[in-house]
Chains A and B, each alone.
Chain A
Amino acid sequence: MSAIVEVRDIHKRFGENEVLKGVSFEIRKGEVVAIIGQSGSGKSTALRCINHLETINDGSIRVCGHEIGSPRIDLRQLRQDVGIVFQSYNLFPHLTVRQNIMLALRHVKKMARAACEERAERVLRMVGLWEKADNYPEQLSGGQQQRVAIARSLAMEPQVMLFDEVTSALDPQLTGEVLRVIEDLASRGMTMILVTHEMAFARRVADKVIYMYQGLVWETGGPEILDNPQTQELRNFVGTGL
Chain B
Amino acid sequence: MDSFTLVQFEYMLKGVGWTLILSVISFVLGSVGGFGVMLARVSEIVAVRFVTTFFIQVIQGIPLLVLLFIVYFGVGIFGLSVPPLVAASIALMIYVSAFLGEIWRGSVQSVEKTQWEASECLGFTRWQSLRLVIIPQAIKLSLPSTVGFLVQVIKSTSLASVVGFVELTRAGQIINNSLFQPFLVFALVGVLYFCLCYPLSLWSRAMERRLNVGNR
- The short answer to whether A and B are in direct contact, CB under 8 Å, is yes
Q: B166 to nearest A CB, angstroms?
A: 43
Is there an interface contact between A92 and B118, defined as CB atoms closer than 8 Å? yes
Is there an interface contact between B137 and A94, defined as CB atoms closer than 8 Å? yes
Is there an interface contact between A86 and B133, defined as CB atoms closer than 8 Å? no
> Given the complex, which residues of B lie within 8 Å of A152, measured CB to CB?
122
Answer whether residue A175 sits at the interface, using C-beta atoms and an 8 A cutoff: no
Secondary structure dominating the interface of B: helix
Is there an interface contact between B137 and A84, defined as CB atoms closer than 8 Å? no
Binary CB contact string for chain B from 115 to 143 against chain A (1 if under 8 A, 0 otherwise): 10111111111001000110011001000
- With both beta carbons as reference points, the residue of chain A lying nearest to B139 in the complex is identified as A94
> Given the complex, which residues of A lie within 8 Å of B136, measured CB to CB?
94
Answer whether residue A108 sits at the interface, using C-beta atoms and an 8 A cutoff: yes
Answer whether residue B114 sits at the interface, using C-beta atoms and an 8 A cutoff: yes
- With both beta carbons as reference points, the residue of chain B lying nearest to A108 in the complex is identified as B123
Is there an interface contact between B120 and A79, defined as CB atoms closer than 8 Å? yes
Seen from chain A, the residues whose Cβ lies within 8 Å of a Cβ on chain B are 51, 53, 75-77, 79-80, 83-84, 86, 88, 90-94, 103-104, 107-109, 138, 152-153, 156
A90 to B72, CA, bound (A): 50
26 A–B contacts from the bound complex (CB under 8 Å): A51-B121, A53-B117, A53-B120, A53-B121, A75-B123, A76-B125, A77-B123, A80-B123, A84-B121, A86-B118, A88-B114, A90-B115, A91-B118, A92-B133, A93-B137, A94-B140, A103-B122, A104-B123, A104-B124, A107-B124, A107-B132, A108-B122, A108-B124, A152-B122, A153-B122, A156-B123
- With both beta carbons as reference points, the residue of chain A lying nearest to B136 in the complex is identified as A94
> Given the complex, which residues of A lie within 8 Å of B133, measured CB to CB?
92, 103
> Given the complex, which residues of B lie within 8 Å of A153, measured CB to CB?
122
Most buried by A among B118, B124, B125: B118
Q: Please tell me the number of chain B residues within 8 Å of chain A, measured between CB atoms.
A: 18
> Given the complex, which residues of B lie within 8 Å of A109, measured CB to CB?
123
- With both beta carbons as reference points, the residue of chain B lying nearest to A99 in the complex is identified as B132
Which one of B117, B125, B214 contacts A90 once the chains associate, using CB atoms below 8 Å? B117
Is there an interface contact between A79 and B123, defined as CB atoms closer than 8 Å? yes
Is there an interface contact between A104 and B117, defined as CB atoms closer than 8 Å? no
Q: B57 to nearest A CB, angstroms?
A: 31
> Given the complex, which residues of A lie within 8 Å of B120, measured CB to CB?
53, 79
A225 to B45, CA, bound (A): 51
Is there an interface contact between B121 and A79, defined as CB atoms closer than 8 Å? yes
> Given the complex, which residues of B lie within 8 Å of A107, measured CB to CB?
124, 128, 132
Is there an interface contact between A103 and B123, defined as CB atoms closer than 8 Å? no
> Given the complex, which residues of A lie within 8 Å of B115, measured CB to CB?
90, 92
Q: B150 to nearest A CB, angstroms?
A: 23
